[in-house]
Amino acid sequence: MSAIEGRTAVVTGGASGIGLGIARQLIAEGAHVVLADIQEAALTASAQEIGAFPVVVDVSRPESVAALADAALAEFGAVHIVVNNAGVGPMARIADLSLADWRWMIDVNLNGVIHGVHAFLPILQGNETGGHIVNTASMASFSPLPGLGAYAVTKFGVAALTEVLRAELKEEGSKVSATLLAPGTVRTNIKESLRNRPDSEKGGLFDTDIGMGEAAKLRWLEPLEVGKIVTRAIRNDDAYALTHPEWWPMVEERNQLIKASFAKYAD
């Protein structure tokens, strides 16, 4: 089990939504929190509200994430929990995507997690008590849907990174572990993520953020509820932190198709 009380946690994408919900719950359970986000004004306000230490970061830039690690160590002397949560989620069909669209999505959603693991894993491994990494993926990691191709590509990548990292850490007998957070429908600002797209990466066909549509009929969680799921997963060292276990039939349908294919080609 991974302790939370008295530990220092870093949460990216923490100014709002799931990141803020996780940060709130970590603080409620006694952790010191470094809140990191690219939106400075929102970050400052949220950090002041919950009592966190704010650091502006652009997770798509490795040097910015390295500076985040330095700032966390300078303020608290150690880091024990890292939540690589920052992400964006515009929609577009694959045939309509520009290379700029792909580059931006991958830089934030996948490279952002890679940068976080690269910067913080050695720090956690240096702790006598180890630590824990939580990487935010999505239910799209298990059951991708039309219109979410680029998003699903990045989230599949985050899932693979986290699963392999966890397996390697267990193999080594490390005191560091990793959990994959796979949220479903949560009330966040991801529907407005295009506002953070840099001008240098504009000009593609990502012109629609994730909207409601049929999703309006689903069960929606508040970010703090996700925070409680995450801290439980950290304490119990769960491989997966799931917000919508009732969505298993969607995942099972894909798994059954894969299973049937294995049987078909075994003939």
Active site residues: 151
Strand 176-182 with 53-56, pairing: unpaired
- Which residues in 155-170 are b (16+ Cβ under 10 Å) and which e? bbbbbebbbebbeebe
| Secondary structure of 144-168 as H, E, C letters | CCCCEHHHHHHHHHHHHHHHHHHHH
In sequence order, what are the residues at sequence separation of 6 or more whose Cβ sits closer than 8 angstroms to the Cβ of residue 21?
186, 222, 223, 224, 225, 226, 227
Strand 90-91 with 240-242, pairing: unpaired
Q: Which residue matches tokens 């986000």?
A: 37
123's tokens: 């720090």
Q: Which of 58, 28, 56 is nearest to 42 (CA)?
A: 56
